[in-house]
Structure 1
């Protein structure tokens, strides 16, 4: 289990556009189609990473809570499926259904989207405002597999609450820690 930190894309960066296949609906979906009216959370995740498995239930709960408030949620997997077949689009669809994902689970086959976001690990979280400007990136919370801290989602939830309440997020933004994205050779 690798401990790879986020790269921490500069705040204010405009969300790079994409058009990726949703593994559930099999439709090509773009950022402009999926973005929320008040903000958008983009998560780089995968099926097999123990760090993602550790937070799956919480990200589903957060998405269910905040989507009602105009926040869009998008999950993307960019892993090399040749060397990591457990992250194939077919298995992504099964994983999304088993975990009741209320958001699209997109497959980044070329890995161009992960590179555009400077994503480094799974999970890696990004929060963009209504104008798709980056206002938060990093960890969900301080919990990690084996550290005995509860998974709360507090860091991401606080950032979303600040956005919804037009309040500046003064809290330190800490990198996420997880498995490295499995880059193609």
Structure 2
């Protein structure tokens, strides 16, 4: 497993805009359509990454815990499906169903949204406040496949609680680590 860290987009960055197809509903959505009243979590994930598989149950628990409190939850897959067909839209819908993902799972076919977020790996997490400004980017917690640290979601949960309860969110944040996004090769 290759370990690729987050690029750590600067805090305060406005949420990038997008118009992407949701593989759960087959509708197209923008950030504006899916954002939460109190804040929005955007995650870059994919179907095949072992790092994503490791944290999927905690991601779903976080979504279920915080959507009802006004946090919008958005997952995006940006991998090159020509080289990684297991990350294609039909299999994204199946992955979402199997993992009980009751939130948008968007397909970034052009990879422009991943570039706009400066996303580097899966999973990669971005939390925006109610003004759509980035307040957290980084890891879910210290757990990784094989390191025997139990999943807790503590880093991300603390940041979301900071947004909800107007608490200070430390600027010293640990980058996420996972499989690198599978970029298309540039045309000659």
Q: Do these two structures clear the TM 0.5 threshold for a shared fold by scoring above it?
A: yes
Distance 1:74 1:170 in 2: 23
- Return the offset for 1:168: 1.1
Residue matched to 2:109 = 109
Distance 1:108 1:16 in 2: 13
Residue matched to 2:77 = 77
Matched, 1:144 2:152: no
- Return the offset for 1:167: 1.1
Residue matched to 1:126 = 126
Residue matched to 1:29 = 29
- Return the offset for 1:74: 0.1
Displaced runs of 4 or more, over 3 A? none
Distance 1:128 1:143 in 2: 23
The equivalences for 1:1-185 within 5 A come to 1-170=1-170, 172-185=172-185
**Unaligned residue ranges in structure 2 (runs of 5+):** none
Backbone CA RMSD of aligned residues: 0.7
Distance 2:101 2:170 in 1: 30
What is the SS of the residue equivalent to 1:52? Answer: helix
TM-score, length basis structure 2? 0.97
TM-score, length basis structure 1? 0.99
- Return the offset for 1:102: 1.6
**Unaligned residue ranges in structure 1 (runs of 5+):** none
Distance 2:115 2:68 in 1: 30
The count of corresponding residues between Structure 1 and Structure 2 is: 185
Q: Which string of whole-angstrom CA distances, capped at 9 and with x for unpartnered residues, describes residues 12-46 of structure 1?
A: 00000101000011110111000000000000000
Q: Which string of whole-angstrom CA distances, capped at 9 and with x for unpartnered residues, describes residues 38-92 of structure 1?
A: 0000000000000000000000000000001000000000000000000000000
Q: Which string of whole-angstrom CA distances, capped at 9 and with x for unpartnered residues, describes residues 103-127 of structure 1?
A: 1100000000000000000000000
- Return the offset for 1:171: 6.5
